[in-house]
Amino acid sequence: MRRVAIDLHDVCIGYVHGLIDLYGWPLTWDADVREMWPWVDWVHHFRAIQHAEFLQGLAPIRGAVVGTKALWNSPDWWPLFLTATPPKGVEEKVTRQWLASYNFDGIETVFTGSFENKVDFIMSNEIDYIIEDHPRVIEPCMKLGLSVVTYSTPWNRHIDTSLRAENWEEVRELFDV
C-alpha cells in the first residue's frame, strides 16, 4: 500500500474561493494571500474567532469528497491529510469539525503549522505521493525527487511538472481510483 499526502486548503477545501466570496476578486494570483488582497486587514482576518467562523463556512472543492473516499477505499492507497494549519488550537478544532461534517473524519490528519514543517514531515515519513497546490511545498519536494501531483491553481501555473491535475476527476485518473 502506498502513502499519499493530500493537502487540505485549495485542494480539498475551497479556501481561496471563500476569500473571493468575502473580499472580492484578488489583485494578483500569488501564493501569499496578503499580496492577493492587500487591502484586507489580515490581523483581523486571522484572529482566532474570525478565522474559525471563516473556516466553518468553506465548501469542499468539487469532487474532493468522492476522490478522497475513492483513495481511502482503494487497497492500493493509504491517504492522509497534511496541512500547514497550526496544531492544538481553534484552527485545528474547526478543521477537524469541518472534515467530520463532510465525512472525511476517518482519514488521518496531520497539522504541521508551517509549509517548512510540512516538507520536513514529508521527508521524515514514507510518503509516496503528494497532492499539493502551494509552491512552497511543491518546489522543494520536486527538487528532492518526490512524486508531487500539482493541483492546479493560478499561483502554481509556473511550475513545470508532468503530474498536474486540474480537478479531482484528473486526480482519480492519475491514481486509478
pLDDT (tens digit, 9 = 90+) per residue, 121-173?
A: 999 999 999 999 999 999 999 999 999 999 999 999 999 998 999 999 999 99
pLDDT (tens digit, 9 = 90+) per residue, 21-54?
A: 999 999 999 889 999 999 999 999 988 888 889 9
> Per-residue pLDDT for 105 more than 90?
no
SS3 of 3, please?
A: strand
- Beta-bridged to residue 80, according to DSSP, are 5
Residue pair 122/146 in contact by the 8 Å Cβ criterion: yes
Look up cell 485542494; give the residue: 11
Distance CA 80, CA 27 (A): 33
SS3 of 34, please?
A: helix
- Beta-bridged to residue 4, according to DSSP, are 79, 129
Tell me the domain boundaries of the chain: 2-12+60-175, 16-56
Fold of 2-12+60-175: Rossmann fold (3.40.50)
Q: Taking the model in full, what pTM does it have?
A: 0.94
pLDDT level of residue 80 (50, 70, 90 thresholds): very high
Distance CA 160, CA 88 (A): 35
